[in-house]
A and B are shown apart, each in its own frame.
Chain A
Amino acid sequence: EVYLVESGGALVQPGGSLRLSCAASGFSFSDYWMSWVRQAPGKGLEWVANIKVDGSEKYYVDSVKGRFTISRDNAKNSLYLQMNSLRADDTAVYYCARGGRYRFDYWGQGTLVTVSS
């Protein structure tokens, strides 16, 4: 069975940094594109970033370009999101999702990031 477990969410001050992790199991991690999708409190879903199987291609929503970096470690079956210069409007539940080339077929339970002073 496919499992995606996010961690690293926390309360952080505006301008601060945070690194999210996603541990994957139950499938061949290195064969799949992976993504981060977020959901602000009471709001809809927003795709944040995706990364190709070997990490050679990465894409971002315009609002996080230059501030967030997606990466992966296929040897550790792990996906990461480094978030810098955090703003209040980055407050959201961040989901790790399998896929990102076409669709998101499995999702983790999410980790909450709160940006507030």
Chain B
Amino acid sequence: GENVEQHPSTLSVQEGDSAVIKCTYSDSASNYFPWYKQELGKGPQLIIDIRSNVGEKKDQRIAVTLNKTAKHFSLHITETQPEDSAVYFCAASISLYSGGYNKLIFGAGTRLAVHP
């Protein structure tokens, strides 16, 4: 079945530095790749997503890149701030056999700590 690997599992950076999280997926049919931020005790929050017809997408300090040939995608956070500290999950979509909706397969998560 579909598998998503995420690295690193923990990441510690100084405020103002950049952070990069990488994911690899196995199902070449996957065509949608969201990134979620989860703070302690809360539900995941969608922060950015990318579809397979695009190689890169940027939203202020956050960017995502996708390499479909290599089946990997990455999250880039620039000018990190202490409030960026959270667990970040990547995901890849696979089609359900009915309903037309895709289900998401999540990576294991990356715990990001931004130190002042």
Q: Do A and B bind each other?
A: no
Residues of A within 8 A of B (CB): none
Binding site for A on B (CB under 8 A): none
